[in-house]
Amino acid sequence: MNRSRVEPLGVPNSGYAADSAQERAAMPGAPSAADRWIVRQLVNRLGDAPVDVVLWDVPPEKTQPAEGRVTVRIGDRRALLQLLVNPELHFGDLYSAGRIQVNGDLLTLLDAAYRYLDARSVPGWVRRGSRLAPDLADSKRNIHHHYDIGNEFYRLWLDREALQYTCAYYADPAMTIEEAQQAKMHHVSRKLRLRPGEQVVEAGSGWGGFALFMAKHYGVNVRSFNISREQVAHAREWAKREGLADKVEFVEDDYRNAAGTASPRYDAFVSIGMLEHVGPGNYRGLGSLIDKLITREGRGLIHSIGRDRPEPLNAWIDKRIFPGAYPPTLKQMMEIFEPNGLSVLDVENIRLHYAETLRAWLARYEENVDAVRRMFDETFVRAWRLYLAGSIMAFVHGKLQLFQVLFARSGYNDVPWTRAHVYEHGST
């Protein structure tokens, strides 16, 4: 596990921690009238939410909330001012560092925060991310930051059969996370109408679970691209264990290099949870690449977190968790298709399935929190707890969407008359 990074692993730096003797000695005295006025403004923004906010004059052991309520303790005046200036950015680091403590259900607090955000209009400057276009070096650095922190960490809380770090599909709400991830992979494979012997190219393999699933259950040959070294190494070993190394090739390279001089034409293109890292400035190029990769009868599917209107990613998540990520709108995604002779066949939004997926991940994360703490520290534990819980509420409140967009070449006529094939049981 590589801990030598320029940017912390979702963990605030010393500018947020307040644990030295000198810093503790400089802590403020009793809260002033101005401090309490600021707290009232923060609480008023949350309306009638069951949230109480106390300051540093209340000892932590006396902040247990009443049933059904949440108590937030702000540990010092500097934290209070940082929260007032930019809550979206600073709350995450202050909570992770322990300078803001939450007693009670974190999801209840975040639900209240999103209700406040729902009532606010979005200013024009948020569209700045629409021109984001990470180059090869940016992409590799961003992916390394999030995905190469140790396969053993992700194995603690993802599904145990396919190690899927993308939205599951709850065909039945009673499904386990393992069952729902299997259902997601069938759902995508059926939409693509994969047939034995076909050639599939995948952009962004994760740990290899979906590529191996397609080969095993649908009889296709897969070439999968990924720039995460740890993920590719894991995927290759997994393919050998499953006896599928001759059916699935995991390539440690950027998807942009998939159309090399010796590259074959593929029957299907698929990308699950990778578009968020591409950047809208690169969408036309992605579409051009797909045009080069697929046959005349080729088709494809892109599964991506998205938005209903252009907004950048949450500032704290962009800084600490997913640097450089951008969830696009459907309008922005059309830049992949329209300039490149590709026709959208079907669009499905399964955002509430992602909220349920995240609930399952968070529950399993909490079950294994002691192991996470041993791998990292308490600050990391709180940061990732907040990331998972905040993501649940982002999908519940519709701040984030989950789009599955099926496409083919313009004029492609081998299209089913209905969607019945998508809901069949079994494989093909």
> C-alpha 4: how far from its chain's center?
23
- pTM (2 decimals)? 0.89
Nearest to 169 by CA among 318, 312, 350: 350
**pLDDT at position 261:** 57
**pLDDT at position 14:** 43
- Residues near 306 by Cβ (< 8 Å), separated by ≥ 6? 327, 328, 329, 330, 333, 400, 401, 402, 403
Q: Are 370 and 343 in contact (CB under 8 A)?
A: no
Continuous segment of H or E residues that includes residue 378: helix 378-396
Q: Are 92 and 320 in contact (CB under 8 A)?
A: yes
Compute the distance between CA of residue 67 and CA of residue 391 in angstroms, rounded to an integer: 24
Q: Which domains does the chain have, with CATH numbers?
A: 21-118 (3.30.1050), 128-423 (3.40.50.150)
Compute the distance between CA of residue 187 and CA of residue 427 in angstroms, rounded to an integer: 10
Helix axes 229-241, 136-147, angle to 10 degrees: 70
Compute the distance between CA of residue 411 and CA of residue 127 in angstroms, rounded to an integer: 34
**pLDDT at position 1:** 38
**pLDDT at position 3:** 39
**Amino acid found at 192:** L
- Residues near 218 by Cβ (< 8 Å), separated by ≥ 6? 189, 194, 195, 196, 427, 428
Compute the distance between CA of residue 256 and CA of residue 290 in angstroms, rounded to an integer: 10
**pLDDT at position 2:** 40
- CA 380 → CA 78, 95, 366, 372, distances in Å? 22, 11, 13, 8
**pLDDT at position 7:** 45
Render each residue's pLDDT in the chain as its tens digit; 428 residues: 343 333 444 555 545 555 444 444 445 589 999 999 989 888 888 888 899 999 999 999 888 998 999 999 999 999 999 988 888 889 999 999 999 999 999 999 999 988 877 655 444 433 444 455 545 554 445 444 555 578 899 999 999 999 999 999 999 999 999 999 999 999 999 999 999 999 999 999 999 999 999 999 999 999 999 998 889 999 999 999 999 999 999 999 999 999 875 667 999 999 999 999 999 999 999 999 999 999 999 999 999 999 999 988 888 998 888 888 899 999 999 999 999 999 999 999 999 999 999 999 999 999 999 999 999 999 999 999 999 999 999 999 999 999 999 999 999 999 999 999 999 765 44
Length of the chain: 428
Helix axes 177-192, 209-218, angle to 10 degrees: 60
Phi-psi sector, 150: left (phi>0), alpha (psi -120 to 50), beta: left
Helix/strand/coil for 105? coil
> C-alpha 423: how far from its chain's center?
26
Q: Are 319 and 6 in contact (CB under 8 A)?
A: no
Compute the distance between CA of residue 240 and CA of residue 231 in angstroms, rounded to an integer: 14
Q: What sign does the dihedral 273-278-279-282 (CA atoms) show? A: negative
**pLDDT at position 6:** 37
Dihedral Cα 337, 339, 342, 348, nearest 10 deg: 20
**pLDDT at position 400:** 97
- Residues near 138 by Cβ (< 8 Å), separated by ≥ 6? 324
Nearest to 408 by CA among 275, 282, 272, 267: 267
Compute the distance between CA of residue 340 and CA of residue 346 in angstroms, rounded to an integer: 17
**pLDDT at position 27:** 55
Nearest to 403 by CA among 245, 227, 166, 170: 166
Q: Provide the 10 A C-beta neighbour count for residue 299.
A: 25
In sequence order, the β-bridge partners of residue 346 are 406
> C-alpha 127: how far from its chain's center?
20
Compute the distance between CA of residue 90 and CA of residue 103 in angstroms, rounded to an integer: 19
